[in-house]
Amino acid sequence: MSLTTNPAPQCAISSPGLFALILGFCLSVGAHTAVALSAADARSTFELTHGAIYQIRVIDIAANNKTSTGSGFIIDSNGLIATNYHVVSNAVNTPGKYRIELLQNDESQVYIATVENVDVVNDLALLHVPELQGPVLPLAGTAMAQGDTAYAIGYPYDLGITVVPGTYNGLAPHSASDRVHFTGSLNPGMSGGPAFNNQGEVIGVNVASAGNQVSFLIPVQRLLSLYDGTSMGQQRDLKDTMRQQLVGNSNRMIEQMLDGNWQLLPLGRAQALDEITGFLRCWGDSKNQQEQSDSKPFWAQRSCQTDHNIFVSPSLMTGKIELQFYWLESAELNSAQFYEHYEQIFSRFVPGNSGREEDLGRWACEDAFVNPATEVTKAVFCARGYDAMPGLYDVLFLQGSVSRAQEAHIIHFTLAGTTRELAQKFTQRFVETGAW
C-alpha cells in the first residue's frame, strides 16, 4: 500500500512473505470501466464540492518551492482544513524549514496554513487558515452499504483537480487501524482529499493505494473524533500529542492481543501461536525438499504481522507488530554442523521498522539462558528508545531452544513504538505461553 502524497515519500506497509502485494505509486491514470457511473452523479458531486477542496503544497522555505503536494478540504467555517498527516509531516517535524500553502486550480489565491492538530495513528491533520472563505463540506452521518458508489476527489500528480469514481467496500477486515476499502484509483497527490457518497457528504479521507484500484480511505468517524477533540486557538505541543497517540495506539493493540486467542498450533515438533487477534495476519512457508537437494536443514516458519506501519516522518515508521516462529531440523548434519547453521539464522533477526540516527537511539541488548519447562533456551531481549519521544521504545525479543541435538525452534517478536510496561506485559505473556 502506498501513501498518496505526491511525490509520496514512502511505502506505508509491505505485506508479508510470498503473498506480498507488489506496491507502487505510479499507477497509470487510465480509463477504467469497473464502475458504472451516471455522468450526472460525478458531475454534480464535483460541482457541489470542488470549491471546498484545495491542493496543499509543502514549500521548502530556503528553496522557495514545493517538496510535496497533497489535497485537503474545508470542514469548518472557521477555516479548518482536513488532510493527511503524511502530507504535512515535514512541516510538523521541522517547522522552520517548511511552510504550507493552499491553492485551487486557478492558482489565483495562495493561503498560508498552520497545523492545528494531528492524529498520527490515523494519518490525519487539521490545518488552519483564518481568512479562508469557502463552502464547508458536510460529514456523512449515515453508513454506506458495500457496493455503493463513492467519489474521491483530489489533485493527483499536480494535474489539477480530478474526480475518481469507485465502490465502497466497507472497512478493511484485518487492518491495524480502521481503513475503508475503496475500489477506485487513488494516485499520488490525492492524499488528504475527500471521498463522497452520492449525497455529496464526506465519507472518508483518501490515504493510500495498493495498486489495481485497491485503495484506502480513513473513515470519516476518525476525522470527526479528531475535530471534536480540537479546540481552536489552543497552544499544542504536536510532538507530545503524537507521542501520546502512539502510546495510546500501542496500548490498544497490545491489550487487544493480550485479550486474543493464544492457541498453539503445531509447527514441526514444536508449538506456535496462530492469529491471536484480527489485525495480526499469519503466513506460512517451508523449505521445498523436492526442489532443493542440498543437505541444509529443513525449515518451516509462521510469520504474523500487522498490515501497515504508522508514518511518523519520511524516515521513521513505527507501530509495527511482528510475531515469528521458525522450526529447523536436520537428519544429515551432525549436531555441531546443525548448530553452526542455526546460529547463522538466530543471529540475523532485524526489526520490521526502521529509522535514522536522528529519530532512534541505539539498541541495548541482553541475552541469557532461560529454562521454560523442560527446555533450555537462549533468550535475547533488545530495546531502543526514540530520540524525540521519551517513553517510546522498539523492542525485539528472541528465544531459541538449545537442548536438542538436531532440531531447533525459534520464537521472535518485534513491537515497534511501545512502552516499557506494555512490552514487559507482552513478553511475560509470550514467554509463559511456552510455545515449545
Q: Shortest distance, CB of residue 91 to other proteins, whole angstroms?
A: 24
Name the minimum Å distance from CB 25 to other proteins.
23
For binding to other proteins (CB under 8 A), which residues are involved?
293-297, 330, 332-333, 335-344, 346-351, 354-357, 360-372, 376-387, 393, 396, 398, 400, 402-405, 420, 423-424, 427-428, 431-432
Give least dist CB 240 to other proteins, A: 16
CA distances to 52, 180, 221, 255, 312 from 122, in Å: 22, 12, 11, 18, 11
**Residue given cell 498453539 in the structure block:** 264
How many CB atoms within 10 Å of residue 292? 10
Residue 298: CB minimum distance to other proteins, A: 10
DSSP string, 331-388: SSS-HHHHHHHHHHHHTT---S----TTTB---EEEEEEE--TT--EEEEEEEEEBSS
Q: Which of residues 47 and 340 has its CB atom nearest to other proteins in the complex?
A: 340
Rank residues 32 and 425 by Cβ distance to other proteins and give the closer one.
Answer: 425
User: Minimum distance between the CB of residue 148 and other proteins, rounded to whole angstroms?
Assistant: 43
- Give min distance, CB of 352 to other proteins, in A: 10
**CA-based nearest residue to 61, from 101, 89, 93:** 101
Bridge partners of residue 299, in order along the sequence: 328
Nearest CB to other proteins, comparing residues 77 and 424: 424
Rg (CA), the chain: 24
Cβ 423 to other proteins shortest distance, Å: 7
Choice between 168 and 430, CB closer to other proteins:
430
Give the nearer residue to other proteins in terms of CB position, either 83 or 377.
Answer: 377
The answer to whether 305 and 320 are in contact (CB under 8 A) is yes
> Amino acid identity of 48?
L
C-alpha span between 163 and 225 (Å, rounded)? 26
* Closer residue to other proteins in complex, CB, 66/425: 425
Q: Closer CB to other proteins, residue 149 or residue 377?
A: 377
Cα separation, 321 vs 176, in Å, equals 9
Residues forming a β-bridge with 302: 284, 325
